[in-house]
Amino acid sequence: MKSTALDAVKKHSIQFVDLMYADLLGGWHHVTVPAERFTPSLCEKGVGVDGSSVTGFRKVKSGDMVIIPDLNSHFLHPFTDRPTLCVLGDLLDVGAKEGFSRDARFVARKAAAALARVRKGEHSLWLPELEFYLFDSVEVYGRPGHSGYRILSREAGAADGDPRVPENDNRRRGYHAACPEDRFENLRADMCATLAGMGIPVKYHHHEVGPAGQVEIELNFMPLVKAGDSVALSKWAIRNLADRNGLVATFMPKPLYGEAGSGMHFHQFLAKGSLSSFYDPTGKAPLSKVGLHYVGGLLEHGKALCAIANPSTNSYKRLVPGFEAPVRLAYSVGNRTAAIRVPGYANTPENVRVEYRPPDATCNVYLTLAAMLMAGLDGIRRKLDPGKPLSRDLFHLPPAELEAIPALPGTLNWALDALERDHDFLLEGGVFTEDLLDAWVTLKRAEARDLAERPHPREFELYLGT
């Protein structure tokens, strides 16, 4: 039997218990209680939360909520001086008998339950790839008359750490680079060891394409809610460890113009027992009918998914031609320019899967996982046909052929428009609610408007002398 958080408090002589929960946008919050107060009674009744002070939750007049510890989701805090146990929590309105509709972790649990209802005996498995940059320093200043940023990266090779590189520089020189070019091998190893200590499975780590400190930590396959926990906590741990080493870790999709952006690809499949439901035993297609219909659902709802999986204005500076980021809603076998890739090396009955490539780490990962699953299930339910896989590089197709393939949204507002038109698939089984989606769109429209109303430094270069 798995030990609970109550058992761990005794076993590790814990002094404090950190109750953690995420807001609607995915940011972590926590409240800490002395270990002697962490009793079965507290775990049943919960700890009070002012929902009106948490982004995307409640208005002041109805702000009272409680956080209920999930006793099966805990780990030793890796960054405190005193022995502290971190416990993830579920949010409820005071007096409510079920979860809070805007608690993204609750949404993820409902999505997993929806799969169990409509596909008896099946579960989903997810492998997330975490791409991010490690910079020596980042200065940001934004006031009227004084706006801009400065990024320093010694790994880029410039004497002053400026990450700009010559136009003829080989952008791919960073991929799988070895030390001394790879400055961060030891730090990534420390990060992976910390994640393992938190119960997060790591597949491998390496340097990525970006020569100014872009790296990747790839996790391993997990069930949906566990994958959500692992991604959200990995970002938290990675940023903490970078800070302790005098660095800045950023998961921004496109921190550097002209350089590789950072995505968060999700390998995924439905499984029954140890076998993938996406495996085609006849070998006539890259995927089974179930797998093809699942892909059909992702493609059908790909534009709306961007509003959840790519929910920042910066997301659309990554989703541009010329890099490995997808720009068109197509699927392929082994071709990384398509939105969905069927890995050519994953061809056994146990591991046939698809890789959905548009998402980035500015998303709330719980909502993104749930939304991808609901899109795939809608494709299975409606038997959506994705057509034949793309066999050529998107960037070298004739214009007429390229225009026949639906494009991903080019801006956040475009994606939000798509979500408002196409979201019924998310409401199936009560997984998402209209209230949650309305709150999400309102928050994201405000972000887009905030950026649109501010003069950009590049505008001064283009228009100051006009």
Take residue 451 and report the two structure tokens written for it: 């950026």
Distance CA 118, CA 122 (A): 9
Give the SS3 label for residue 93: strand
User: Of 294, 269, 292, 265, which is closest to residue 349 (Cα–Cα)?
Assistant: 269
Distance CA 181, CA 19 (A): 40
A 10 A CB-CB count for 68 gives 18
Stated as kind and residue range, the H or E segment containing 143 is strand 137-143
Single-letter code of the amino acid located at 95 = G
Question: CB of 215 within 8 A of CB of 176?
Answer: no
Give the SS3 label for residue 155: helix
Distance, CA of 400 to chain centre: 33
Rounded to 5 degrees, what angle do the CA atoms 410, 318, 302 make?
A: 50
Question: CB of 17 within 8 A of CB of 9?
Answer: yes
Distance CA 265, CA 354 (A): 10
Give 271-314 as a DSSP string.
Answer: EETTEETT--TT-SSSS-HHHHHHHHHHHHTHHHHHHHHS-STT
Q: Is 362 exposed, middle or buried (0-12, 13-18, 19+ CB in 10 A)?
A: buried
Quickly count helices (H) and strands (E) in the chain. 14, 16
DSSP 8-state symbol, 133: E
Question: CB of 49 within 8 A of CB of 77?
Answer: no
Catalytic sites, residue numbers: 50, 129, 131, 208, 216, 265, 336, 355, 357
Distance CA 45, CA 358 (A): 40
Sign of the dihedral through C-alpha 94, 96, 97, 98: negative
